[in-house]
Amino acid sequence: MQNSSKKIGDHGEYIARAHLVKQGYVILEANWRYKKLEVDIIAKKDQCVVFVEVKTRKSDIFGEPEVFVTKQKQKFLIAAAGQYMIQKNLDLEARFDIIAILQNNNNHTVKHLEDAFYPKLK
């Protein structure tokens, strides 16, 4: 049996994928893993690969869902994205989005933050 937060997260990712498809994105991967790193959704729109972190919460009492994408999590996503681009031999633009979902009972709101963060230049 799944725990409650895992169920909420899985449902949020389902909502996020449906949102992206409705917006014209093609889903390339869901829960793509490289070693210990994971990207919730990898999608493509036009000539851009979009790496999406999904955050789902039942309440915003502790803050909007997107504030839980920490700098450390961003670093992990950027590292995983780099590996994905290398493994798939992609020479396309890459972007990092966050989809924040607030869900209570049967209602949910979806906030899609495009270009939510950027890789640091060395």
Domain boundaries, the chain: 4-113
Q: pLDDT tens digits for 30-52? A: 999 999 999 999 999 999 999 99
Give the distance, in angstroms, between the CA of residue 116 and the centroid of all CA atoms in the same chain: 10
Query: What letter represents residue 96's amino acid?
Result: F
- Tell me the backbone φ, ψ of residue 117, rounded to 5 degrees: -160, 165
For residue 30, the model assigns a pLDDT of 96
For residue 1, the model assigns a pLDDT of 45
Rounded to an integer, the average pLDDT of 12-28 is 96
pLDDT at residue 8 tops 90: no
The CATH class of the 4-113 domain is: alpha beta
Rounded to an integer, the average pLDDT of 92-105 is 91
pLDDT at residue 106 tops 70: yes
Give the predicted TM-score (pTM) of the model. Answer: 0.91
pLDDT band at residue 62 under the 50/70/90 scheme:
confident
Count of Cβ atoms closer than 10 Å to residue 12 Cβ: 23
Strand order in the sheet with 26-34: 26-34, 37-45, 48-57, 93-104, 107-113
